[in-house]
Amino acid sequence: MKADIEPRPLGTLLTELASGLEGAGVALARDEARDIVAAVLDVPRFWPSANKGALIDVTAVEEAQQAAAARARGAPFAYAVGRAAFRHLTLAVDDRVLIPRQETEVLVDLVLQAEAGGRGTLVDVGTGSGAIALALATEGNFDRVIATDVSLGALDVAERNAAFVRDDLRAPIEFLHGSLLAPVAGLQVRVLVSNPPYIAFSELEELPASVRDWEPPLALLSGDEGLATTRTIVRDAPSVLEHGGLLALEVDTRRASLVAEALASNGSYQDVAVHLDLTGRERFVLARRR
């Protein structure tokens, strides 16, 4: 441990962090410092401002300093503090996985609404941090949840998150390594859900630097103008979905109609429907296996 790291009054720590962040050009440096400390201490966002006299131990001081240094280098906030909120969960995240987005929480709602009984096996394809799979395993009533990913690093993060929430799991969860549906070939499942990569390679430079320079390209980018991975799932899902089973996809808002068209023209699906995200954009496509 560095010799200059020692317990700090919270007010002193906030001032130190804010000064460093401001010097690095981080906007709203005082708010950032407050939010970093709140995340490190796992307290409500405004708790640090109301408790500046509290003494912060060495471990928390070091973690807050490291997080502030990462933010000063341009790291997204979630990577800097090593955690992100998703529905009722707090998940560990690092640059091996996408940062869970608020809009993806709607995908979980859509699955829970569509499968009110929650029976059978649910598969989350390309699980990343495990956000979708763990939300559904803790909120739904499925008999079994399986999460797949081609990235061993992502599975390491997801398995760590599963260990964090093990007492809240309402269904056993299993993590399988492999590409897309390959790990579940031969199974019959009730629900297949996925937030696959859907950004075209040509669109990479259009992404914010915090996404483009930090989040894993494997989880962001797909060929065929962003549709290759989604079309593969649409093609292969009927081989594992039981009749009447649900396919639920998050998609690029510019391509929802193309995904719906692919489902409608496949011949294996019915009840194809496009759903909106929290901002009113076409973000999700659901369908039933015939």
pTM of the model: 0.93
42-73 pLDDT, tens digit per residue, is 999 999 999 999 999 999 999 999 999 999 99
As given in the structure block, the two tokens for residue 132 are 């979708």
181-210 pLDDT, tens digit per residue, is 999 999 999 999 999 999 999 999 999 999
CB of 78 closer than 8 Å to CB of 97: no
Using 50, 70 and 90 to split pLDDT, how confident is the model at 5? Answer: confident
Task: Give the residue among 231, 234, 227, 233 at the shortest CA–CA distance from 199.
Answer: 227
133-169 pLDDT, tens digit per residue, is 999 999 999 999 999 999 999 999 999 999 999 999 9
CB atoms within 10 A of CB 259: 25
| 84-289: CATH topology | Rossmann fold (3.40.50)
User: Could you tell me the residue ranges of all domains in the chain?
Assistant: 8-74, 84-289
CB of 272 closer than 8 Å to CB of 260: yes
Summary mean pLDDT of the chain: 96
